[in-house]
Amino acid sequence: MIEVRQLRREFRVASKKGRFRREYKTVVAVDDVSFDVAAGEAVGYVGPNGAGKSTTIKMLTGILVPTGGTVRVNGVDPARQRKELARRIGVVFGQRSQLWWDLPLRDSFALLRSIYRVNSSDHGKRLEECVDLLELAPFLDTPVRQLSLGQRMRGEVTAALLHAPELLVLDEPTIGLDLESKERLREFLAGLNRRGTTLLLTTHDLDDIERLCPRLMVIDHGTVLADGPLAELRAEVTPERVLVIDLREPLNLPPLPGVTEVRSEAGGLRHHLTFRRAETTAAALITEVVRHVEVHDLAVVEPEIDDVVRRLYARTSAATDSTPDVVDL
Amino acid sequence: MAEPVYRKIIAARVRSQMSYRASFAVECLSQVIAQAFELVVILVLFTRINALGGFGVDEVVLMFAIAAIAFGFADLVAGQLDDLPTFIRSGTFDAVLLRPLGTLPQMMSTDIRLRRVGRVFAGVVTLAYALTHVNIDWTPWKVLLVVVAPLAGGVILGSVWVVACSVCFWLIESRELANSVTYGSGAFTSYPITVFSKGLRYLMAYVVPGAFVAYYPSLALLGRSDPLGAPGWIGWISPLVALVAAAFAGAFWRFAVRHYRGTGS
């Protein structure tokens, strides 16, 4: 579905030198990136801001032309066959709308039908399905500018799917959404992927990856640092997790199997238990804790995506790093 | 390509603008008033002088009217290119690149500003007035010219704007430049080119074909020879000039978009 070889993109950045003179510096945004995505896969593409995610996405979708290397999406060269590609993929940008600001969703969808030349029975069927699954019906006739962010995103996703693309590219689809909207969107995308649509998404939200993407690609400073299943990568770079428990009354905890470090605060009301993934599971540990004390609240803290990326980066640039930071709530 | 897609996009734009009827009416009216003020300036000028660049008041009004209609048409079609810097800065232009349509037609159709119709309407009224006050030796060809000249003028002005706005792909902050070209060209084309200095005249007649918008076609209508010695047929070829200008503008736009996407630099 996607075939990327030695992809490279440079930007020329001008800086002022004196009143009229300018100096140009070449900044490499994407450097020697190669990967494949097979049809039907769901891949998360993550990395800190400025890592080169969006630049890659823009080259895959034909917005930007690579400085070097080759890209094939659906057998098409995105840079040369932009319009051809546009008919065959769907793209959603979380932070910029592709809908018409002052038109109701219904009208936007009708326009997209003629733009993508979709015949009306196919279009109607797909629209009905999206309206159904994403519950668009209550606001189909509201102008886009009056929609909430969550409603708008559902509209954006629908708009990207009406021409039945085999590949859906999403750039930060859940950014700014509340938990319920995020969950609803993830559920929809997961279903879409099950029915055969290939997904490629960039995100800052680890839960997106967890729910949707069996495969994770991490990029930083323009190069791919890691590529593989999320669980594997996370276990590899952060072998320890933290369970945070709040008790009803201050108490000291007895020693628990698998726990390597206990940090208490609030006079013994809250405890941070660091445990090794390889030795126990969160479920086993919770069961154990509940047997001893009365628990008011608890949370398992996973390393943030940025943390994983940072560790991956540290791992490649220096020697191995095994002391985990204490994660605070 | 006059595809039904664009007809539908434009129809949708029109519908959404007509949903604010009152504001549409006010904006339309303000365009008429703006145009009327420019006419008043000319009329006031002629209370002091008898001729401007060798032309009488009604003849100047004729040029002014043709230029006004042309400007209105160009504004209707290419006026929204003013927003290109905003599109580029906010990343909305990327969304334009994601659709299976040409970028220029999309930009032109995304925000048809219907209120510009006010300017066209004011121009048509002025033209009707001017035509009844100047001496024209009517032939079928001249009737055709009266209809075609404002349209061709619109294409010429629109092409000039497309080129000026394309510069935004290199310099985002060049909106001022684009504006000075759009409104400057509007002002320039409304007067006989004989009133301008020689350098500006050559620039506007042959480099930027502004003189073909109203001046040369008016000469042909009036049956007057150009005081500056241009041949008599020059007023008849404005549609041809329009085609060349449009082709050039289209090529320049493509070149600019190619630069934006990263192959042109």
Report the CATH number at residue A285: 3.30.70
Whether A134 maps to a domain, the answer reads yes
The answer to whether residues A221 and A244 belong to one domain is no
DSSP A204: S
The answer to whether residues A87 and A202 belong to one domain is yes
Among B90, B101, B263, select the one facing A96 at the smallest CB separation: B90
Among A64, A103, A117, select the one facing B262 at the smallest CB separation: A64
> How far is it, in rounded angstroms, from Cα A81 to Cα A168?
18
The answer to whether residues A256 and A178 belong to one domain is no
Residue B141, classed as helix, strand or coil, is: helix
Interface of A with B in 244-303 (CB under 8 A): none
The answer to whether residues A186 and A296 belong to one domain is no
> How far is it, in rounded angstroms, from Cα B104 to Cα A94?
25
Among B8, B12, B261, select the one facing A63 at the smallest CB separation: B261
pLDDT at position B235 is 87
Q: Which residues contact B115 (CB under 8 A, 6 or more apart)?
A: B17, B24, B27, B28, B30, B31
Cβ separation A86–B95 shorter than 8 A: no
Residues of chain A neighbouring B258 (CB-CB closer than 8 A)? 65
Domain ranges of chain B: 4-261
Cβ separation B261–A97 shorter than 8 A: no
ipTM, two decimals, is 0.78
pLDDT at position B247 is 97
Residues of chain B neighbouring A172 (CB-CB closer than 8 A)? none
Q: Which residues contact A290 (CB under 8 A, 6 or more apart)?
A: none
Return the residue matching tokens 């050559």.
B202
Contact A212, A189 (CB under 8 A): yes
Whether A293 maps to a domain, the answer reads yes
Contact A42, A213 (CB under 8 A): yes
pLDDT at position A86 is 92
- pLDDT (tens, 9 = 90+) of chain B, 265 residues, equals 446 788 888 888 788 777 777 888 888 888 888 888 888 988 898 888 888 888 889 999 999 999 999 999 998 888 888 888 888 888 888 889 999 999 999 998 877 777 788 889 999 999 999 999 988 889 999 999 999 999 999 999 999 999 989 988 888 777 777 778 777 777 788 888 888 888 888 887 777 888 899 999 999 999 888 888 788 888 899 999 999 999 999 999 999 999 998 865 4
User: Best interface-test mutation with A: which of B98, B259, B260 has the largest number of A CBs within 10 A?
Assistant: B98
Residues of chain B neighbouring A170 (CB-CB closer than 8 A)? none
Residue A236, classed as helix, strand or coil, is: helix
Whether A308 maps to a domain, the answer reads no
Among B8, B97, B265, select the one facing A82 at the smallest CB separation: B97
The answer to whether residues A213 and A83 belong to one domain is yes
pLDDT at position A328 is 36
pLDDT at position A208 is 85
Range of the domain at A298: 239-302
CA distance A62 to chain B (A): 7
Domain boundary among A189, A218, A234: A234
Among B4, B98, B258, select the one facing A63 at the smallest CB separation: B98
Cβ-in-10-Å burial (0-12, 13-18, 19+) of B135 comes to exposed
pLDDT at position A326 is 39
Interface of A with B in 124-163 (CB under 8 A): 143
User: How many inter-chain contacts (A to B, CB under 8 Å) are there?
Assistant: 64
CA dihedral over B217, B223, B228, B230, signed as positive or negative: positive
pLDDT at position A197 is 93
pLDDT at position B67 is 93
CA distance B49 to chain A (A): 46
Share of chain A above pLDDT 90, in %: 31
pLDDT at position A329 is 37
Q: Is A72 on the interface with B (CB under 8 A)?
A: no
* Residues β-bridged to residue A9: A30
> How far is it, in rounded angstroms, from Cα B63 to Cα B193?
10
Cβ separation B265–A107 shorter than 8 A: no
Domain boundary among A204, A234, A264: A234
Whether A20 maps to a domain, the answer reads no
Contact B186, B157 (CB under 8 A): yes
Q: Which residue of B has its CA nearest to A169?
A: B98
Q: Which residues contact B88 (CB under 8 A, 6 or more apart)?
A: B168, B169, B172, B260
Whether A10 maps to a domain, the answer reads no
Among B5, B90, B98, select the one facing A91 at the smallest CB separation: B98
Residues of chain A neighbouring B101 (CB-CB closer than 8 A)? 83, 115
DSSP A329: -
Q: Which residue of B has its CA nearest to A116?
A: B100
pLDDT in tens, A95-126: 778 888 888 999 999 989 988 988 889 999 99
Torsion (CA) A181, A185, A187, A191 in degrees, nearest 10: 160
> How far is it, in rounded angstroms, from Cα A55 to Cα A8?
10
The answer to whether residues A136 and A250 belong to one domain is no
Cβ separation B12–A98 shorter than 8 A: no
Domain count of the fold of chain A: 2
For residue A133, what is the domain's CATH number?
A: 3.40.50.300
Residues with pLDDT less than 50, chain A: 319-329
Contact A52, A60 (CB under 8 A): no
Contact A310, A235 (CB under 8 A): no
A250 phi and psi angles, rounded to 5 deg: -60, 130
> How far is it, in rounded angstroms, from Cα B18 to Cα B24?
7
> The pTM is what?
0.81
Whether A327 maps to a domain, the answer reads no
First to last CA, chain B: 29
> How far is it, in rounded angstroms, from Cα A299 to Cα A244?
5
> How far is it, in rounded angstroms, from Cα A233 to Cα A307?
12
> How far is it, in rounded angstroms, from Cα B55 to Cα B128?
18
Among B5, B9, B92, select the one facing A96 at the smallest CB separation: B92
The answer to whether residues A83 and A153 belong to one domain is yes
The answer to whether residues A280 and A261 belong to one domain is yes
The answer to whether residues A53 and A136 belong to one domain is yes
> How far is it, in rounded angstroms, from Cα A80 to Cα B222?
51
